[in-house]
Amino acid sequence: MGCSKQLLLLDDKPVIRHCLDNIFAAGIGDVVAVLSGKNEELIKTVKEQPVKITFNENPSSEMVDSVRIGLQAIDSSSSAVLICLSDHPLITVETFQSVFHIHELDPDKIIIPTYNGKKGHPALFPKDIIRAIFSGFTLREIMTRDKEKVRLFDVSDEGVILDMDTMEDYREMQFKIREELRGKRKN
């Protein structure tokens, strides 16, 4: 996109804050942010939140590399890891809560929300399953090889499939946020 998309504003706050605010509002406390590069403004914005910050110094790396880095910083008592992407800022608090509720009911499963049949984010991996990434597997390979361990559940939250990869995506998210706020004001 030619800029730090995590710092683009949605409803007067950076995209990364939308993500973190909803994560915290859902009751998730042990949060590790894996940042790439040394964007001082992004670091400052994230440091304002109660998160552990780690860095992926390789800008051409894959997402699984950031997950490996983040896993090394999580609390050892964690039973699972929730993979949240900062370019999915419209995921609702209720969706995060649903993922954790399903994990409580089915703790040995990889939990993935779907919207209209499309797999989305965030994805929750039991800690013993996700450790396979240290043996060279990607997240997709883990889900494919352990299909019986994957539990999909449908949500009415379009935010699970909306990611922000282009300026057009960003403008669409701005529109959705404004519409959501208008709807709340009317109620």
CATH number of the CATH domain containing 76: 3.90.550.10
CA separation for the pair 126, 103 (Å, rounded): 8
Q: Which residue has the tokens 């790396």?
A: 61
Q: How many domains does the chain have?
A: 1
- Domain coverage including residue 143: 5-186
Of 183, 25, 95, 72, nearest in space to 17 by CA? 25
CA separation for the pair 171, 149 (Å, rounded): 37
Instruction: List the chain pLDDT tens, one digit each, 187 residues.
Output: 677 899 999 988 999 999 999 999 999 988 999 998 778 899 899 998 899 999 998 878 888 999 999 999 998 888 899 999 999 999 999 999 999 999 999 999 999 999 999 999 999 999 989 988 889 888 989 999 878 999 999 999 999 999 999 999 999 999 988 887 666 666 5
